[in-house]
Structure 1
């Protein structure tokens, strides 16, 4: 999730260290890397387990097209559950934990980002109420006023995933640009190998998410007017991503210089 990139960057600032001492900064970065890597490994392992269970149990079956968030627990219970092994309740606990995790991380990320952009200085309880309301109120509205048995709820979930995919470049590209700047990072600037690997991974993720967006776009979007409008939006979106990538390159500087001279 793209907001976790901002959250990780903000959490490292919570450590009270003497930033003037390079050894203390290196120590903080070392332990922060361990913390982040462990969290990502656990998250990756859980996602792999969930995907594997559903693929093993339902891939290629007649039930596969009918499984969604609302009835996934029932299908798992019928397939794997017993009286002594209530898969349905295990799935429910997992969904609850997942929802709590997403809500908390999203709220904290928004809190740090908006606090930085707007320089907000509010009391902690007021800041908590405002930021958590933005996360909880829309969720409560969906839970209370929408039919959870409606297949469109799964479409809504897919739409949220697509929106997160759209935001990924705006988190990763500036991050790589910043950590690659010797002027900003000083002795902690990333090396050329790390920089190249980071760009390769980022481009790979963007291609995967581009395929996800295209797949969702072709399956769910209807109407010539809506499709034409989305094509324009996607074109602007791609142009802005290219701009972000080229923003601090020599090519961009030369183009900008040539435009200035011609004008």
Structure 2
């Protein structure tokens, strides 16, 4: 007869075998078409190696400067001047920490976040988490639809409903880019980021904001937590900046580089340079978001309440009564082109993220074009409903965009807590496990975000009642 110790030992062995089998099943390569395909140099200089690893950070950063960021940052500046710059800064620092953890998970384990979550949960829980994550991706897609439709309206005076329908077919643009190869996609996205950055540096310089007020805005203000309206915008900025789908995306595309997965030194180097790439690109995203808020504050703060929308900013840039002698149709066109580029840029990352979570959570593979078309059609429906109900009102459509960003903030902890758990697991991560301070800081951030989000939802429903 077996002793208690022997029974316990057998049970542990069975559980370990079961866990290893789950990991083996999950380890079908994440985004197999790009996994382990990009060559990196050996024993090269720091900058040459960094250049080889640069790219995934740009695809991640794109999600941090999409139309959702634009409307929340502009609204924050228009309503509360420079106060919420501190939220932009803190959100970006949080994003740097979490994205570095996501990349570390993918490189160290060979699993993306969706695969790792599915390994450590039941089939039912995995399905529920997949649904929530898909909704978050759809919320992001809504922002892209709205941003693209408004940009087309501003550039060509197309009705919003026509712009919404046109954006439905941007799937064909994605398919074309996919055929160029992953490295070329990274280069195109990086180029568009610099175009967007250049546009807003130029426009903010012309707007001549108060530099002293800008620096003061980076100091956190207690009023942000006390003012429900300010908190609502602040959480929208967090939701638009720290995006759940980007954690899944980064944990997957960080595995695109070709290096020896069995060599601890090579893995350590991959983590190091991927983190450098991520932080540099997110630094650029921070500058863009700060510039948007500064532009909104410089042009609209203290003016009549219906300012602070995309159309308002577009018109203001060519109105001498608002922006003075710098007014020019060219500034307006640059703004609209950057908005359109931003929405199209985000299309790529949204599609890849959808593929990652679908394959990782429920092991379902679908052609990229089909996946993109289904997601975009679902995202278009609520936008069309709002456009029809409100007679093509751009204000109503942009309100919908703002609410999608708050939903992303609410969905964020569902992705963050598993990320912290898995990257802090010594058995899973080996020598690349989180340092204690990283674990505790990330946990504090996740708890704080959860509390703030719950409080905001309660206050919102209290007001409705």
Q: Say whether 1:82 aligns with 2:327.
A: yes
Which residue number in structure 1 is paired with residue 247 of structure 2? 5
Offset of 1:135 from its aligned partner? 4.0
Cross-structure match for 2:135: none
Q: Distance in 2 between matches of 1:205 and 1:149?
A: 32
Cα distance per residue 1:40-99 (max 9 Å; x no partner): 11111100000011112211221x43432343311333233533x722112102211221
- On the 8 A contact 1:7/1:105 being kept in 2, the answer is yes
TM-score, structure 2 length as denominator? 0.42
Q: 1:132 to 1:194 in 2, by over 3 A?
A: same
- Rate the CA distance shift 1:181–1:130 in 2: closer, same or farther, 3 A: same
Which protein, 1 or 2, shows the higher relative CO under an 8 Å CA cutoff with sep ≥ 6? 2
Query: 1:43 maps to which residue?
Result: 285
- What is aligned with 2:306? 65
**How far apart, CA to CA, are the structure 1 residues paired with 2:374 and 2:267?**
34
Deviates more, 1:143-152 or 1:113-122: 143-152
* Residue 137 (1) aligns with residue 377 (2): yes
Relative to the length of structure 1, the TM-score reads 0.72
Structure 2 CA distance, aligned partners of 1:212 and 1:87?
37
> Where does residue 156 of structure 1 map in the other structure?
400
CA gap of 1:5–1:18, structure 2 versus 1, over 3 A, is same
The reply on whether 1:201 has 2:201 as its aligned counterpart is no
| Distance change in 2, residues 1:191/1:113 (3 Å) | same
1:103 and 1:135 in contact (8 A); partners too = no
Structure 1: gaps of 5 or more residues? 225-263
Structure 1 position 94 matched with structure 2 position 335: no
**Deviations 1:188-219 (Å, cap 9, x if unpaired)?**
10111111222233334445545654565566
Bigger drift between 6-15 and 146-155 goes to: 146-155
Following superposition, the deviation at residue 151 of structure 1 comes to 2.5
Partner SS for 1:20: coil
Which residue number in structure 1 is paired with residue 69 of structure 2? none
- Residue 30 of structure 1 is matched in structure 2 by 272
